[in-house]
Amino acid sequence: MLQTTNNKGEFWTARGQVNYSRSFFDRHEVSAIAGLEFRETTTNGTQSVILGYDENLQTGVSQTVDFGIMSTLANSPYFICTTRGRNEATYPANSYGYSYYFSDYMGLVLEQHHRYASGYANITYTYDSRYNIFGSFRKDYADVYGLNSRFRGKPLWSAGAGWNVHNENFAHDLTWMNFLKLRISYGVTGNIYQGATSYLTAKTDGVNIHTKLPYATISNPANPNLKWEQNRTTNIGMDFSLLNYRLRGSFDYYNKVGKDIFSRKTLDATAGFPSMNANVASIRNRGIELAVSYDWVAPHGRNCFGWTTSMTLAHNRNIVTDVETPATKAWEQISTPFKTGYPVSAIWSYKFAGISEAAGQEGQTLWEIENGGTAHNASTHSVEILEYSGQRDPKINVGMENSFRWKGMTLSVLMAYYGGHKMRALAEYDVYGIPDSSIASYFLNAWTPENRTDTPGIGRYGCQSSSSVGSEAASSNKAVHDADFIKIRNIVLGYNLPEAWLRKYGINNCQLQFQINDPKAIWVKNNIGIDPETLGHRGRSSYVFGLNINL
């Protein structure tokens, strides 16, 4: 089968801007800009499927299939549930045939048409090259929102100040300080969430299997009060260069508060919809960012040795400060993990309580429930039975690059550390009977009366009906592991040919380069053999050879 998608886009932008810059009285500098911008985007496309596609012969057999009949075919002898050699029930052919394999890969890519307009201005004033203040303002309009005229345009602004300490008189004698700037700013920025609209929207879904007539489904209720998501950011930082520019870098502390964030809002049952997108959530991010470079050996020419180390460090802590949490059952909290006071990427888990030895339930997983009890199926119990197991996003990111130069040769090694987060991997699931497909290797250690392990049983010691196979194992605390790691991102070896060799051929620069990307991790905190980035086998290393010539 060959599935193809053809996307088409039309985009235009018009902008008009005026610039102003002036210095006066030798100490005052003013620069400003102001402008208008208009944008329009239109995207659409088509999707198609060719059955029996032969790449060599360039042939297919889709013309022999009536997809219209297939889409309305309720039952077929070709879709039969077979368990332990017995034909037990027929499956709806349209659900397990047409809908599963074809419906999402055929037809039109729905057209989306949007218009945007913006007006902006900013101004900066500097006094004596020592102090500066700035301010900016813009207002954006988008057709995504607008039923309520109060929310059609979003005013955004920022203001800040800076102090060039190195230009002060008292700093002139500090020969070790080449540059030092302290700065502070506060600003309000906005974001358009494309997954929501102010208008009542419907989507055509195909043909009714009973009436054979086309129908549409209302996918989004109208909400005239939708508005832009808003981020209010306070930033305090500094930029520096010291020791004759050998040590240089920047440091930032930020506090970012997200208001009017989109989330699902529960509606009254009489509204006709269980929930809708609305500006009902708030998020806070706090953290630091540090970037530092140091020339251990500063190169003074092509034939001299040079060694520079650059490091970046970022630490972030985010929490949900306000969100509607309608979850009353455990499975609801698992599927929508947002909860006030916890990170956006919080992991919620069922607490593993061992393997059952009770008659009729031997080998089945047990989970903690209320009042110290245990049960095989816990998803419909209270959210209070769940455990907070950490967050998926790293709390700390560190990058370090060492660069070496000597006689035209260059070598750089980029390393990264991600830490403070968790991952869920290698869950051990209950099964009903003996699977017809391949069997997971962990069942080599399956529970039996003679081998009492924490791995679910299989066969006579597995689940005795398909309805008793729960979803708890996929969200088990037993499957949560540390995700910290240290990796080499790339190793790059290069050589710049001498200019004297190239000049007679009219070449300004010629560089040979060999690069290794993503070699095996140096260190992984978990001991289960899982790559924390792929949640499976590590990605393949790649090797790149390049030649760059500038004439």
Which of helix, strand or coil describes residue 103?
Answer: helix
Q: What's the angle, vertex CA 475, arms to CA 474 and CA 478, rounded to 5?
A: 95
Closest CA to 165 of 141, 139, 198, 129: 129
Q: What is the DSSP letter of 274?
A: S
- Which residues have CB under 8 Å from 57's CB, separation 6+? none
User: Residue 212: CB partners within 8 Å, gap ≥ 6?
Assistant: 72
Q: What is the pLDDT of residue 84?
A: 46
Q: Which of 319, 317, 378 shows the shortest CA–CA distance to 349?
A: 378
SS3 per residue for 524-540: ECCCCCCECCCCECCCC
- Alpha helices by DSSP H, listed for 222-381, are 330-335
- In the chain, the amino acid numbered 2 is L
The dihedral over CA atoms of 200, 201, 207, 213, expressed in degrees to the nearest 10, equals 40
Task: Give the rounded distance of the alpha carbon of 271 from its chain centre.
Answer: 33
Distance CA 198, CA 183 (A): 40
The amino acid that residue 51 corresponds to is: L
Q: Report the alpha-carbon distance of residue 551 to residue 549 in Å, rounded.
A: 7
pLDDT of residue 85: 46
Among residues 122, 145, 146, 151, the alpha carbon closest in space to that of 134 is found at 122
Cα–Cα distance between 332 and 346 in angstroms, integer?
14
Global pTM reads 0.81
Within 415-462, residue ranges assigned H as helices are none
Query: Is-contact 183 189, C-beta < 8 A?
Result: no
Q: Which two tokens stand for residue 7?
A: 């996307």
- Answer yes or no: are the C-beta atoms of 320 and 342 closer than 8 Å: yes
In the numeric block, the tokens 């002898």 are attached to 77
Answer whether 356's CB lies under 8 Å from 306's CB: no
Instruction: Give the DSSP letter string of 487-529.
Output: EEEEEEEEEEPPHHHHHTTT-SEEEEEEEEES-S-SEES-SSS
Q: Which amino acid is at 124?
A: T
pLDDT tens series, the chain, 551 aa: 788 889 999 999 999 999 999 998 889 999 999 999 999 999 999 988 887 788 887 777 766 677 777 776 666 665 555 544 444 555 566 666 677 677 777 778 888 888 889 999 999 999 999 999 999 999 988 877 666 777 777 789 999 999 999 999 999 889 999 999 999 999 999 887 777 777 788 877 667 777 778 888 887 788 888 888 899 999 999 999 999 999 999 999 999 999 988 888 877 777 777 778 788 899 999 999 999 999 999 878 888 899 999 999 999 999 999 988 778 899 989 988 999 999 999 999 999 999 999 888 889 999 999 999 999 999 999 999 999 999 999 999 999 999 999 999 999 999 999 999 999 999 999 988 887 778 889 999 999 999 999 999 998 888 877 777 888 999 999 999 999 999 999 999 999 888 878 887 888 888 899 999 999 999 999 989 899 999 888 889 999 999 988 87
